[in-house]
Structure 1
Amino acid sequence: MSGRRYAESLPSACFIVISCRTKTTQNEQTAATHHKKSHKLPLAPTSSKGYIAKRTFKVIILGDAGVGKTCLSFRFCCGRFPEHTEATIGVDFRERNCVIEKELLKVQLWDTAGQERYRHSIVGHYYRNVNAVVFVYDVTCPSSFASLRSWINECEKNGLSADSDIPRILIGNKCDLKSTNAQRVDTDAAQMFADRNNMALFETSAKADSEADHVESIFLTLLHKLQQSKPMHVQSEGERHAKEQERLVLKASEANALNEEGWCC
């Protein structure tokens, strides 16, 4: 069953930053979807004053163009839906500090262009030293769901398989449009796909303010799992700055390529 439905049967004591060390998919979903029963509690400390971030986690977001990858990262890192959205060129990332169990963690959400034309040019930089993977599809666009297999294959080619101990989750975005759209991805089918690929499934909306806590909970649940694990590689502060410069150079090169080639109709 989906995380949202499973949460309804749980006691109200469940909370996002509990010391839950289970690795089961159901409990990951439960922690992130139970916000409706505990939304008055803070999801994480609001101030990082007095803390020093010793660990930085790189989380990549994969999915077709237009599924809302940028909007999800913007909602979590900036606390709101972006007023203006444009197609991502190359790669970009946003970051946020979060205090979990008295430890300040820095999470980088790396967002990539979903267009096929960019995949091969960014692959070497994008998949390097990844700590977690978030796959995103549009619940009102079945073709974006069908494309998930190719994104998973791309990950596996770069060493990010289900057996690599790197957490992977699946997000169905734009659920605010699901009831009014004739074409939609069935939740049960999505859950079966997630189960086959050893991922937790979440359905949410980056746009709807009513889902803001849910988006927050999804990423904090993932970060909590990373905080409890011992990842193979965690960035130092120097590496973090180097990555930011790498991202700027890569994005600039992709923008130049786009200007030279022009848009295709």
Structure 2
Amino acid sequence: MEEIPTLKILTLGDASVGKTCILLRFSEDEFPTVTMPTIGIEYKTKLVQIQGEQVKLQVWDTAGQERYHRTLASTFYRRANGIVLVFDLTDRNSLDHVENWMKQIRQKADPKVAIILVGNKMDLIDQTTFPDGKALADSYGIPFFMVSAKTGKNIAEVYNTLSDMIVRQDPTVLQGNNAPPATVHVRTPPVVQKKDTMCCK
């Protein structure tokens, strides 16, 4: 059986910006009403069509807390074909921290990695544009999307655009590629019933 090409996408950003909710909306079309902080790193997969070919997107969700991120192996950065860098449209600090995340990417990732800047929780703001996010993305020469993990708006567009960027930059990825890192520690915290939070809108 012919191997399905795999594109590895890393999701980065501060804690509580909604990375896990974006991933679940994309991979399972679900929005969790109760979430727990991501511990370490986890991933989901989804089959998509790119240029008429079936491709598996392996989307990694990372913990936003600095103490976890410091231990994130450089291997995950180096093996990533694309990166979704997320901030919270309702939290200015998370936008200000994008610069620090970009420094990490520049230091650890492949120079050719495709990057998209994503502002999540657009359902919680009035305006349909976010000039600061667009200006920041333009300064790095990367696309910018406003999304809502709660409603699903623009989620698919983010991954479609990123996949197209990856293939345009390196068409050989459709010929089958490298396996995931040999050692992956995935820890899933137990589900704890608690009141809904606004962290993943």
For normalisation by structure 2, the TM-score amounts to: 0.83
Unpaired segments ≥5 residues, structure 1:
1-50, 256-265
CA RMSD after TM alignment: 2.6
The amino acid of 2:23's aligned partner reads: S
Unpaired segments ≥5 residues, structure 2:
190-201
Q: Which residue of 2 aligns with 1:71?
A: 21
8 Å CA contact retained: 1:58, 1:108: yes
Q: 2:165 aligns with which of 225, 234, 238?
A: 225
- TM-aligned CA deviation for residue 152 of structure 1: 0.6
Separation in structure 1 between the aligned mates of residue 178 and residue 143 of structure 2, nearest angstrom: 32
Q: Write out the 4+ residue segments of structure 1 that deviate beyond 6 Å after TM superposition.
A: 231-235
Answering whether residue 179 of structure 2 is matched by residue 239 of structure 1, we say yes
- TM-aligned CA deviation for residue 83 of structure 1: 3.8
Q: Which has the larger radius of gyration?
A: 1
Q: Which residue of 1 aligns with 2:50?
A: 100
Separation in structure 1 between the aligned mates of residue 107 and residue 32 of structure 2, nearest angstrom: 33
Identity within the alignment, %: 31
Q: Which residue of 1 aligns with 2:186?
A: 251
- TM-aligned CA deviation for residue 102 of structure 1: 2.1
Separation in structure 2 between the aligned mates of residue 115 and residue 94 of structure 1, nearest angstrom: 20
Distance 1:135 1:207, change over 3 A: same
Separation in structure 2 between the aligned mates of residue 79 and residue 146 of structure 1, nearest angstrom: 29
- TM-aligned CA deviation for residue 251 of structure 1: 2.7
Distance 1:52 1:176, change over 3 A: farther
For 2:9, what is the secondary structure of its paired residue? strand
The amino acid of 1:251's aligned partner reads: V
Distance 1:238 1:198, change over 3 A: closer
Give deviations 1:155-174, integer Å, cap 9, x for gaps: 111144xxx22211100000
* Higher helix residue share: 1
Q: How many residues are paired up?
A: 188
The amino acid of 1:171's aligned partner reads: V
Q: 1:128 aligns with which of 46, 67, 78?
A: 78
Separation in structure 2 between the aligned mates of residue 234 and residue 90 of structure 1, nearest angstrom: 29
